[in-house]
Amino acid sequence: MSEQQNPQAQGQEQQEPVQISLQDIATVVQLIDVVSRRGGIEGNEMAGVGMLRNKLEVFLRQNAPEGEAPQGEMPADAAPADVPAEAPLADKVSA
């Protein structure tokens, strides 16, 4: 008997599963911070985005090696935004 292969499997290579590192998650947290500082998140989206950001940050703290905090890969010049001191809630924004 001849061996038959799954027709869908023919011609398709096995792909490696995608790996997500703690550094990748730290980059997402940084990205959320940058986008929110720049006003890229609308008011009705802030609660959901904030909850996701906080969950990712807690996950990082729980899974980082002892004494280490994974750093994201966002460029340093993209991180903090200049918030005028007289802006509403400016005292709540950490630069």
* Residue 25 lies in domain: 19-64
Query: Does residue 78 fall inside a structural domain?
Result: no
* Choice between 83 and 49, residue whose per-residue pLDDT is larger: 49
72, 26 Cβ separation under 8 angstroms: yes
Give the Cα separation of 7 and 12 in Å (integer).
10
Distance from C-alpha of 53 to C-alpha of 32, rounded to nearest angstrom: 7
- Does residue 73 belong to any structural domain of this protein? no
Domain presence at residue 72: no
d(CA 67, CA 39): 33
13 part of a folded domain = no
As for how many domains the chain has, the answer is: 1
pLDDT tens digit sequence for 24-80 = 999 999 999 999 989 999 989 999 999 999 999 999 988 988 877 677 776 655 545
| Residue 8 covered by a domain | no
Give the span between the Cα atoms of 87 and 89, in whole angstroms. Answer: 6
